[in-house]
């Protein structure tokens, strides 16, 4: 069983986490959901498409204008409260590495803290524990938040990802986060070059084998673009190919821009893998 705040899911469920950016400069949507009403329409859309989780972010991952905690909170806290009021059955995740922000959004109704920067703020686990929230424990190779990797090297990137995320999960557990509320994420592209992200994808089963539920964030990432030599906006098919590999390995949560396409891809792969029954199966039977 997976528990994300006030919501529970069976081990046979794959979950869609839809990205909602409260930023004016996100790499994919170029600020399309910067305005609050536009962001709220995005929430309505992905909820209607069947996303179980929305992941709200108030600061882009890439280098850019300095955004302090006060500004980040101004972008996400009231928005979380608004989403919580209208969508009581939706899991609300907030993409932040700051404990101060995590505390404020959990108080406003967030269920999950998605720490994309691998525990850069060690107090984040205490915040999750205090609020009964879930947490995503990522691997970034120790890079500073909002910096790009430069000639980073690993003896074995998958071993590093397993060791670091499991250690982070143990820290969360020790802080009082419930075991069923801890998720690990290899963090494709974060602290990695394209070859590292491809290796993580190829060997994702080693992360699944840890027993912790695995989240993957593949959507339109640079490793897809570089592999296929395609710009942002033309990476859907490559994203879905990588998604299929991760789905076969057993990833549980998929952080995505395109919910419907990813859901169909994951459902097909999970059914082939024997984890899900076909929606109907009448061929040759009637």
Q: What residues contact 45, with CB distance under 8 A and at least 6 apart? A: none
Assess whether pLDDT exceeds 90 at residue 147.
Answer: no
Average pLDDT of the residues in 32-48? 95
Range from 26-35, 53-62, 150-159 carrying the lowest mean pLDDT: 26-35
Q: What residues contact 246, with CB distance under 8 A and at least 6 apart? A: 201, 204, 214, 216, 218, 254
Assess whether pLDDT exceeds 90 at residue 146.
Answer: no
DSSP string, 184-209: EE--TTTT--HHHHHHHHHTTHHHHT
Q: What is the pLDDT of residue 8?
A: 98
- The 10s digit of each residue's pLDDT in 172-181 is 999 999 999 9
Q: What residues contact 127, with CB distance under 8 A and at least 6 apart? A: 99, 102, 103, 106, 113, 133
- Provide the annotated active-site residues: 221, 255
Provide the pLDDT confidence category of residue 284 given band limits of 50, 70 and 90: very high
- Residue 220 C-alpha from the chain's centroid: 13
- The 10s digit of each residue's pLDDT in 65-108 is 889 999 999 999 999 999 999 999 999 999 999 999 999 999 99
Average pLDDT of the residues in 152-169? 98
Q: Name the 3-class secondary structure at 171.
A: helix
CATH number corresponding to 2-272:
3.20.20.20
Pairwise CA distance, residues 251 & 105, whole Å: 26
Assess whether pLDDT exceeds 90 at residue 286.
Answer: no
Average pLDDT of the residues in 192-196? 98
Q: What is the pLDDT of residue 20?
A: 97
Its pTM stands at: 0.96
Which residues partner with 117 through β-bridges? none
Tokens encoding 42: 């995005």
**Residue-range domain boundaries for the chain:** 2-272
**Phi/psi of residue 17, nearest 5 degrees:** -110, 105
Q: What is the pLDDT of residue 32?
A: 87
- The 10s digit of each residue's pLDDT in 230-256 is 999 999 999 999 999 999 999 999 999
């Amino acid at each position: 069983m997976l528990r994300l705040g006030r919501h529970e899911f069976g081990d046979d469920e794959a979950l869609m986490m839809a990205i909602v950016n409260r930023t004016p400069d996100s790499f994919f949507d170029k600020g399309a959901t910067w305005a609050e009403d536009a962001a709220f329409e995005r929430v309505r859309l992905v909820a209607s498409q069947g996303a179980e989780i929305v992941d709200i972010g108030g600061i882009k991952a890439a280098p850019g204008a300095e955004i302090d905690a006060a500004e980040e909170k101004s972008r996400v806290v009231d928005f979380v409260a608004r989403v919580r009021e209208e969508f009581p059955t939706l899991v609300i995740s907030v993409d932040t590495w700051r404990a101060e922000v995590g505390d404020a959004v959990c108080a406003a109704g967030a269920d999950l803290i998605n720490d994309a920067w691998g525990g850069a703020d060690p107090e984040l686990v205490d915040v999750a524990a205090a609020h009964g929230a879930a947490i995503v424990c990522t691997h970034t190779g120790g890079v500073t938040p909002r910096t790009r990797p430069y000639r980073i090297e690993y003896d074995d990137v998958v071993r590093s990802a397993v060791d670091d995320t499991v250690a982070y999960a143990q820290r969360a557990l020790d802080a009082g986060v419930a075991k069923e509320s801890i998720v690990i994420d290899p963090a494709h592209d974060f602290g990695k070059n394209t070859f590292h992200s491809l290796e993580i994808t190829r060997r994702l089963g080693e992360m699944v084998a840890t027993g912790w539920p695995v989240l993957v964030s593949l959507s339109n990432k640079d490793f897809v673009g570089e592999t296929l030599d395609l710009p942002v906006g033309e990476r859907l098919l490559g994203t879905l190919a990588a998604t299929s590999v991760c789905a076969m390995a057993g990833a549980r949560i998929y952080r995505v821009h395109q919910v419907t396409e990813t859901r169909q891809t994951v459902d097909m792969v999970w059914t082939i893998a024997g984890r899900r029954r076909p929606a109907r199966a009448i061929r040759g039977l009637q």
